[in-house]
Amino acid sequence: MRRLFLILAAVLLLSSGASAAVCPDIIIPKPVGYEVFEGEYILKGDGSDIRVHSADRNFLRELKALSLKDFAYNEAYRLIVGKRGVDIYCTGDVGEYRARQSLSYMASFSDTLSFCSIVDYPRFAHRGIMLDISRNFRDKDFILRQIDVLDMLKMNSLHLHLADDAGWRVEISSYPRLTGYAAWRKGKEWTEWRSSGKHYAEQGSPEATGGFLTKEEVAEIVSYARKKNINIIPEIEMPGHSAELLAAYPEVACLSADGKEKVFSSDVCPGNEETFRILEGILDEIIEMFPSTYIHIGGDEASKSSWKECPLCRKRMEEEHLDGVDGLQSYLVHRIEDYLESKGRHLLGWDEIMQGGLAPSATVMSWRGTANGIEAAAMGHDVIMSPNTYCYIDYYQDAPLYSPLAIGGYIPLTRIYSYDPLEGVPEEHFDHILGVQANLWTEFVPTEEHVEYMLYPRTFAVAEIGWTPQTEREFTSFRGRSVRLVEQLKDKGYHPFDLANEYGDRPESYVKVDHLARGCEVKYSKPYSRTYSADGETALTDGKQGGWAYSKSDWQGFNGDMDVTIDLGKVQPLHYVGAWFYSCYTNWITFPERTEVWVSEDGENFTLASTVTCQIKEGRESGTMYSLFGAPVDVTARYVRMLAVLGTQPQHGFVFTDEIVVK
């Protein structure tokens, strides 16, 4: 509490316009190295007291000793604040720009600076954020405002997810139906569109909501970002997540097994030459609009279900000697890569592009954890680390009970900050890890205010991960700096999460609970999920209760009903049996329809001691919830069996619990 008071006091002091001298220790991302000296300098404000020099001999010698990569060398700078003002030493324009960013960052809190010296350069080449503007459209002005924050944080990449089932968001002159039809839908928010049948609408019709970026707007975004040394990476999804493309141009759809009908799914047809003609035509215009070295093609979560029966796909697999539908996806990725390479661009895709064989020059964005990224690096491919276990900022960042609806999971600031992109990567493959990126999918993020709430301050952590040496990062300092920057963003009209009043993880997760079943043997009539195993066969009686996150924590998941029996070791009086259950309807985790407690003295003859029926209404809008299913009992027993029965609704897939408490 005292630490929080001191942080808030510092915020009030700085935001009140007080003249306290600012030091480099306020900057996000934290500089590589700095010294602070006695004395202060008041900036003139017109820039006349800022002098820029080519890197001097001492600075060049220092950089050479560090054996910096080209990107780090180009962004390196030394900044000195002294009696005569500010001196910047740099190797080029980008280094000067980074130095001015640090100076501007300090000056945004006070024009009085402590005498100091900063030596700085980035750890990774790619430091980015992905913003999904397909699920819920965001316009040019909003994107420009976010570029301003990325600029302040020395980030250099904004990845725009421009196309998905929920809407096409960029003008393509050759295929006007993409923006005349597929950019508009019935249902303003993604949740409304999904629940009402996923219908698109003609532009200008009364029910049409949505929008797209015109070529002129794209040009303005790209130009604005380029001036701030930020690269805009466009993403056009293929072969999956493409229902909107099929709706606008049915010729890219697969055929039914008899070849007489179109099959409308979310996957384009890789067996159809027309598919490649259209995709290449779209990419031609994307390449014209976006100068990015990388063109992101998605490649994730293709169902491939229609490919198995489609005569065109079956013919392609036979003629090309492909190994099933994974081989067919690999064929598409290889072919698109060849096309992009012929245009002087490189293919970037989610880690599913590895299925069936990775295209020769492809760069992998690893989102399903880190293992696929590590494997791709070992194969000699460049990788951008973006694991959902650390870098998915569509997950909750604070207690779900006090947060707006999210897709589920829990990634607070401390979690994302703890990530090291080189963790688990053999040193000989370090050079293939280009950097780090966080992703904001917007299925449940419908407004501009909500987008900013999810982005900030977690984007601050991504910036520091990507820039600051791992050995120089420390969370307590970072959190204090983040609280200050959050308050500054609020003053500028942004809507960040109120970090100073963070609730934190589930309180029960910090302490162990003591009860009669703690440490007792558990027998499983139905196996737990290997993906959500927690601590295995000791998880339900180890005294540990789960936090807000269901994955990588103390919650144990069952793909279906849970049926376990605990041996208490001896016959004894029992008065209560209960367990907490977790519900995240958007991730197919629901409360059991009912729980039953059965007891026995001999382990063979059981009697029903209690039944608890779920009275809680769940639904897609209900968010993440936790509930105690417990009941008093008045029995004598050694064995306790708990049965948690799921409902029969399609969304009822998993049941999760953290501890079975017996008293």
- 87-120 pLDDT, tens digit per residue, is 999 999 999 999 999 999 999 999 999 999 999 9
Q: What percentage of the chain carries pLDDT values higher than 70?
A: 96
Q: How far is CA 478 from CA 29, 190, 458, 463, 488, in A?
A: 9, 35, 11, 11, 15
Q: What's the pLDDT score for residue 156?
A: 98
Q: What's the pLDDT score for residue 621?
A: 63
Contact 100, 88 (CB under 8 A): yes
Q: Which two three-digit tokens encode residue 484? A: 């200050």
CA distance 147 to 131: 11
Asked whether the predicted pLDDT for residue 497 surpasses 50, the reply is yes
The partner residues of 81 in beta bridges, in order of sequence, read: 86, 116
Mean pLDDT of 556-572: 96
CATH superfamily of 509-662: Galactose-binding domain-like (2.60.120.260)
Amino acid code (one letter) for 171: E
Q: What's the pLDDT score for residue 551?
A: 78
Q: What's the pLDDT score for residue 648?
A: 72
Mean pLDDT of 41-59: 94
Asked whether the predicted pLDDT for residue 5 surpasses 80, the reply is no
Structure confidence by residue, pLDDT tens digits, 363-394? 999 999 999 999 999 999 999 999 999 999 99
Q: What's the pLDDT score for residue 1?
A: 39
Asked whether the predicted pLDDT for residue 623 surpasses 70, the reply is yes
CATH superfamily of 126-450: Glycosidases (3.20.20.80)
CA distance 181 to 200: 7
Mean pLDDT of 613-621: 77
Asked whether the predicted pLDDT for residue 653 surpasses 90, the reply is no
pLDDT: which is higher, 16 or 247: 247
Asked whether the predicted pLDDT for residue 278 surpasses 60, the reply is yes
DSSP letter string over 595-638?
Answer: EEEEEESSSSS-EEEEEEE------TTS-EEEEEEEEEEEEEEE
Q: What's the pLDDT score for residue 21?
A: 94
Q: What's the pLDDT score for residue 637?
A: 98
Asked whether the predicted pLDDT for residue 9 surpasses 60, the reply is no
CA distance 206 to 203: 9
Mean pLDDT of 205-233: 98
Asked whether the predicted pLDDT for residue 488 surpasses 90, the reply is yes
Q: How far is CA 562 from CA 521, 523, 616, 625, in A?
A: 16, 11, 19, 19
Contact 149, 101 (CB under 8 A): no
| Strand ranges, E, within 123-206 | 126-132, 157-164, 167-168, 184-186
CA distance 41 to 49: 10
Q: What's the pLDDT score for residue 10?
A: 44
Asked whether the predicted pLDDT for residue 266 surpasses 80, the reply is yes
Q: What is the CATH number of domain 2-120?
A: 3.30.379
Q: What's the pLDDT score for residue 618?
A: 73
Q: How far is CA 578 from CA 396, 553, 657, 661, in A?
A: 27, 20, 10, 5
List the domain boundaries for the chain: 2-120, 126-450, 509-662
Q: What's the pLDDT score for residue 567?
A: 98
Structure confidence by residue, pLDDT tens digits, 393-436? 999 999 998 999 999 889 999 999 999 999 999 999 999 999 99
Structure confidence by residue, pLDDT tens digits, 449-461? 999 999 999 999 9
Q: What is the mean pLDDT of the chain?
A: 94
pLDDT: which is higher, 394 or 6: 394
Mean pLDDT of 591-599: 95
Active site residues: 164, 241, 301
The DSSP 8-state label assigned to residue 31 in this structure reads P
Structure confidence by residue, pLDDT tens digits, 500-521? 999 999 999 999 999 999 999 9
